Chain A
Amino acid sequence: MVKKTPLHACHLEAGARMVEFAGWDMPVQYSGVVDEHRAVREDVGIFDVSHMGEIELSGLGAEAVCRRLFANDAANLVPGRAQYSLIPNEEGGVVDDIIVYRLAEDRFLVCVNASNADKDFEWICDRSAGECSVVDRSDQFALIAVQGPKAARLVGQLVPEAAEMKRFSCAEVDIVGHAGMIARTGYTGEDGFELFVPSAAAAHVWNRLLKDGESLGVRPIGLGARDTLRLEAALPLYGHELNDSISPFEAGLDWVVKLNRPQMTGYEALARAKKQPSRVLMGLVVDKGIAREGCSVLASGIRIGVVTSGTHSPTLGRPVAIALVDREADTHDLAVDVRGKPRPAQMTNLPFYVRAGD
């Protein structure tokens, strides 16, 4: 049975094209991927990401559980702050990538990928018995992302506190009459917010954002543009740049893993992997054709790795790809095998896009 978010009817009414994603019937596009992508880069867009999971850890032992199960150090979080983190496995691979929001000294909300939500909940429950309370709150929350250079102006109209919030801060606030939580986080490479609202209030908040944002050019954005936006910003997507057998060091996430506590899951494997990551993520601009996930990367005709994500970059107007390649490999004469044809490619720094001011 395909699941529907509390905003499903709004998407159908807006004429969105729907697809199944991670067991959910989700909008992939409204007006078109490129058009929606530009709206977020230039103005502001709103995304229904209610398919994502929310798991709350609370109680006196919650911090210790977070520090043991997550790779970034939750002890560095003061209440009202959020951090990007990873759930490592024993082998030094990644169970999921997450955002941890510290709502209070003894209360953490963990936002997880839709495709991993059930697995993560079980993983955390199995490893925290008796130490803290673990509650799957995914069904209680709708999650609306508001992203783009005009996001602060739009969200500020609904939540006055928003404009003053720093990046990666979070607060439990009133959102147009509904008790919710907002955070200055996102997945587009732009400034923006994520609004956690009670499911029953989702349509009200969504419609208010569309109405109040009309003069700012607000648009609803589908999963298609969400992917092109995150790819340009080189933000990893679980199942592509991350999985249970890619180490965070290979994925360029050294800054996330704090090896300051041996009790952390996978500590030894991660410490070893840090010394000699065997692969590295590489940015590629491809001459012709779109290099998609699974395409081989060739250097002087020899296979050196594989494309993890690829698309047409609306900002660059070129095909771009992220690839996982052997660290020691020679990188002369790069090409990507696109459906049997080697297409010349140039190595480039990641990310492909950095917003002005960052």
Chain B
Amino acid sequence: MEIPSNLRYTKEHEWVRVEEDGTVTVGITDYAQEQLGDIVYVELPEVGDDPVSKDEPFAVVESVKAVSDVYAPVTGKVKEVNDELPNSPEAMNQEPYGDGWLVIMELEHSSELEDLLSPEDYQTLLNEVA
């Protein structure tokens, strides 16, 4: 199970990468994609000025077997969504930390980053659920 060391994580199996310009890129983890199985549909939020709140469901990922909400890992505006993803949702299975990214958000409270899990803590969480 791949858990890149340069990312932060949530208990709901999302990853967050802080970019140089201060924005954050969000996706689902390798563990999440494996649990879901073949991902065939994704519903992304709209880009806009209304901020989404931390823990609010803001995207939907659907596999052959199950549907799953994706929760905003932090509070902030959605600046960009991965437009390629609805046409190639399998990218989330193949490259969950690469082409399978979901959205880029503008962070409202940088303190929220501290609530996220470190790679080590996320590994511990996986050890508990697996």
Partner-B contacts on A (CB < 8 A):
28-29, 32-35, 224, 228, 288-290, 292, 311-312, 314, 319, 339
Contacts and interface: CB of A to CB of B under 8 A. Distances in A.
B64 A228 contact: yes
A319 B65 contact: no
Interface string B56-86: 0000101111010000000000000000000
B37 interface: yes
Give me the 3 closest cross-chain CB pairs, A-B, nearest first.
A312-B40, A34-B38, A33-B64
Nearest to B93: A32
B64 A319 contact: no
A29 B64 CA distance: 11
A290 B67 CA distance: 8
Contacts of B40: 34, 290, 312, 319
B99 interface: no
Given A228-B64, A289-B62, A290-B67, A32 B41 contact: no
Contacts of A29: 37
A150 B41 CA distance: 31
Interface of B: 37-38, 40-41, 43, 60, 62-65, 67
B62 A290 contact: yes
Contact of A292 (B37, B43, B60, B67): B67
Contacts of A34: 38, 40, 64
A28 B65 CA distance: 10
A224 B67 contact: no
Contacts of A288: 41, 43
B41 A312 contact: yes
A32 B38 contact: yes
Given A33-B37, A290-B40, A312 B67 contact: no
A28 B60 CA distance: 23
A289 B41 contact: yes
Contacts of B67: 290, 292, 339
B67 to A, nearest CB: 7
A171 to B, nearest CB: 35
A28 B38 CA distance: 13
Contacts of B60: 289, 339
B43 A312 contact: no
15 contacts: A28-B65, A33-B38, A33-B65, A34-B40, A228-B64, A288-B43, A289-B43, A289-B60, A290-B41, A311-B64, A312-B41, A314-B64, A319-B40, A339-B60, A339-B67
Contacts of A290: 40-41, 62, 67
A292 B38 CA distance: 16
Contacts of B41: 288-290, 312, 319
Nearest to B43: A289
B129 to A, nearest CB: 14
A273 B62 CA distance: 38
Contacts of A33: 37-38, 63-65
A338 to B, nearest CB: 9
Contacts of A319: 40-41
Nearest to A37: B64
Nearest to B35: A17
Chain B CB within 10 A, most for which of A28, A29, A289, A314: A289
Contacts of B38: 32-35, 312
A224 B40 CA distance: 14
A28 B64 CA distance: 12
Nearest to A311: B64
A9 to B, nearest CB: 21
Chain B CB within 10 A, most for which of A288, A311, A312, A314: A312
A224 B62 contact: no
B24 to A, nearest CB: 27
A228 B40 CA distance: 13
